[in-house]
A and B are shown apart, each in its own frame.
Chain A
């Protein structure tokens, strides 16, 4: 079974630039999560999708971050414009059902904003 795919793996941008991350979940997984993990901290949920609907986006900075999951499969997360404090690893995870504990994480995208 193929795992969660993410790209790119690494990205370096200057502040005020824009960036997009892509995630392809495990086939058949209805729930998709985007997390931000800053060095030394636990993952912080940014947005959770159930199929192509948003379950929770309360911690998504909507003035600069956006995410979509068209057709209920893969997803993109965009930051525009980026700030220095956005430097982090962005993790995508998916689960078959709504139970978050059974989620599988992708390798992550390490973003550095200079």
Chain B
């Protein structure tokens, strides 16, 4: 069974710090990975996607993918209280069927 694992947290960081969110996956056939942010009571919204090994940067966000280790991470630089949310990691393989992790709760305190 394809699984995406995330630590449920909460991960607590001070404002201005770097938040590091991690995700591992079991399906070696997974090719595409996505990070979604979900505020309490709201729907998930896409932050970033990554397909290739290495880093991908978009503003304060950096996604990292290591297919050999089956590991995906999301770094949030200069964390703000508005970044407090649950971050969902998702992966999909050649069939494009997405599998989500349970999410990591991030708390950014002033």
Contact = CB atoms under 8 A, between A and B. Distances in A.
Nearest to B92: A100
Which label, helix, strand, loop or mixed, suits the secondary structure of the A interface? mixed
Contacts, number: 61
Interface residues of B, number: 24
Interface in B87-110: 88, 90, 92, 95-103
Interface residues of A, number: 23
B97 A45 contact: yes
Contacts of A45: 97-100
A103 B44 CA distance: 10
Interface of B: 4, 6, 8, 32-34, 42-46, 49, 88, 90, 92, 95-103
Given A43-B44, A100-B96, 9 more contacts: A33-B98, A43-B100, A45-B99, A55-B97, A56-B95, A101-B33, A103-B46, A105-B45, A107-B43
